[in-house]
């Protein structure tokens, strides 16, 4: 079928809005008309010269939409269903079978695509040349996407579908990091370094968990103001050289938990330094830079753990977040600014500058 997609052909260039051909769904796949799709920092990875990710490519991995066609072996999903799309996993490896699909043995090749050269192309441009369209199993910067049934979560039809896509990655990552990965308890202290979409979702989750204090650190005053509104008890400007003593004073010597969402080595080292002995630091970002720590950083029982997708199983965690949203306790929609699909380059620029927390593209506009 003929669809419209935002295609990245040059790592340092703009997305081009192109008419492309998308294959019909094969066994175990569904065709989804994309209603909304969030722009996530991970969508910038193909721009890195050392990424190994082949171009041309359609990115986008926070899609939401309506099922338009189903193939064989798609039990539980029907035409007309409203769905949120999330990451891909095999469903068969040891971690998937243990309920930890975010750590699927084939996660990298299924979601980043640089090792999927053996997979048949499902998208072609006007010249008949292939365009990679399996980014996170969806490539949803487009009017339509082909998705495996294990990638989707069915949601109620009365929900604002155009806003739900970010629940499939950034928002579930931040909330899950606090609620699932770290298991923050009521009364525990937590420092959240970087309050973009992931960090602000973590702030909201920390409030739900009853954490106290909840300390947010960022370079953007506006984001810190919003963090206060969403549950942070204290905020600190990231350039403040007095941040360590401030954290120690607020946490009786050090925080029990820290979460870094920036992936910047200096910020990670600072987050670990905010911990008390036996404290736990979660790393929710991805960086190719080396992380160097002083020998004493982990010598007092501290733990540092990497976090992927908030350890969430989307089909169970996303409905929980939506119930909390209906109750007014998890207002993730306050993070969102909408754009049309042909404004994708402006949306990306706004996200990189920090002017917008979570851009969501609306392909139907």
Q: How many CB atoms lie within 10 A of CB 229?
A: 11
Cα distance between residue 230 and residue 228, in whole Å: 5
pLDDT tens-digit map of 265-315: 999 999 999 999 999 999 998 777 889 998 888 989 999 999 999 999 999
The yes-or-no verdict on residue 115 having pLDDT over 70 is no
The yes-or-no verdict on residue 57 having pLDDT over 80 is yes
Measured N-to-C along each axis, helices 197-209 and 221-230 cross at an angle, to the nearest 10 degrees, of 30
CATH superfamily of 2-168+331-362: Medium-chain alcohol dehydrogenases, catalytic domain (3.90.180.10)
Interstrand relation of 63-70 and 29-38 (parallel, antiparallel or unpaired): antiparallel
Cα torsion angle, 226, 228, 229, 232, sign: positive
Task: Report the pLDDT averaged over residues 14-25.
Answer: 96
Q: What is the reported pLDDT for 239?
A: 87
Which of 49-53, 108-112, 233-237, 293-297: highest mean pLDDT? 233-237
Q: What is the mean pLDDT of the chain?
A: 94
Q: What is the reported pLDDT for 48?
A: 87
Q: What is the pTM of this model?
A: 0.95
CATH superfamily of 174-308: NAD(P)-binding Rossmann-like Domain (3.40.50.720)
Tell me which DSSP letter residue 202 carries. H
**260's tokens:** 């870094």
**Cβ–Cβ under 8 Å, residues 247 and 240:** no
- Alpha carbon 269 to its chain centroid, in Å, reads 22
Residue reference for tokens 């963090």? 227
**Cβ–Cβ under 8 Å, residues 318 and 167:** yes
Interstrand relation of 214-218 and 190-193 (parallel, antiparallel or unpaired): parallel
- Strands of 2-8's sheet, edge to edge? 2-8, 15-22, 123-124
| Band of residue 116 on the pLDDT scale cut at 50, 70, 90 | very low
From 328, 332, 334, 339, select the one nearest 364 (Cα to Cα).
339
What count of Cα atoms within 13 Å lies in the side-chain half-sphere of residue 59? Answer: 26
Q: What is the reported pLDDT for 121?
A: 85
The most distant pair of C-alpha atoms in the chain lies apart, rounded to whole Å, by: 64
| Band of residue 118 on the pLDDT scale cut at 50, 70, 90 | low
Domain ranges of the chain: 2-168+331-362, 174-308
From 265, 274, 207, select the one nearest 240 (Cα to Cα).
274
Task: Report the pLDDT averaged over residues 37-46.
Answer: 94
């Amino acid at each position: 079928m003929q669809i419209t997609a935002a295609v990245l052909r040059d790592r340092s260039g703009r997305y081009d809005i192109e008419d492309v051909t998308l294959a019909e769904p094969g066994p175990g796949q569904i065709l989804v008309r994309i209603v909304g799709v969030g722009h996530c920092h991970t969508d910038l990875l193909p721009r890195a010269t050392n990424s190994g990710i082949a171009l041309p490519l359609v990115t986008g991995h926070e899609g939401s939409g309506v099922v338009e066609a189903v193939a064989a072996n798609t039990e539980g999903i029907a035409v007309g269903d409203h769905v949120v799309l999330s990451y891909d996993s095999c469903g068969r490896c040891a971690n998937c079978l243990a309920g930890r699909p975010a750590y699927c043995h084939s996660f990298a090749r299924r979601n980043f695509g640089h090792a999927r050269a053996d997979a048949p192309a499902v998208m072609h441009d006007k010249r008949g040349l292939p365009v990679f369209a399996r980014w996170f199993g969806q490539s949803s910067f487009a009017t339509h996407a082909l998705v495996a049934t294990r990638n989707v979560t069915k949601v109620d039809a009365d929900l604002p579908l155009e806003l739900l896509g970010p629940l499939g990655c950034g928002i579930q990552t931040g909330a899950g990091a606090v609620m699932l990965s770290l298991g923050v308890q009521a009364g525990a202290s937590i420092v959240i370094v970087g309050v973009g979409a992931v960090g602000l979702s973590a702030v909201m989750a920390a409030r739900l968990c009853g954490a106290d204090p909840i300390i947010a650190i960022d370079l953007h005053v506006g984001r810190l103001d919003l963090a206060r509104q969403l549950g942070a008890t204290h905020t600190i400007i990231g350039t403040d050289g007095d941040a360590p003593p401030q954290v120690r004073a607020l946490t009786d010597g050090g925080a029990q938990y820290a979460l870094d969402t920036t992936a910047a080595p200096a910020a990670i080292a600072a987050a670990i330094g905010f911990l008390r002995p036996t404290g736990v630091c979660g790393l929710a970002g991805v960086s190719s830079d080396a992380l160097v720590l002083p020998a004493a950083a982990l010598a007092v029982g501290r733990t540092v753990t990497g976090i992927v997708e908030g350890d969430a199983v989307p089909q169970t965690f996303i409905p929980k977040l939506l119930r909390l949203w209906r109750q007014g306790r998890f207002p993730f929609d306050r993070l969102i600014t909408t754009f049309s699909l042909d404004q994708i380059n402006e949306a990306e620029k706004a996200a990189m500058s920090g002017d917008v927390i979570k851009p969501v593209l609306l392909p139907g506009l």
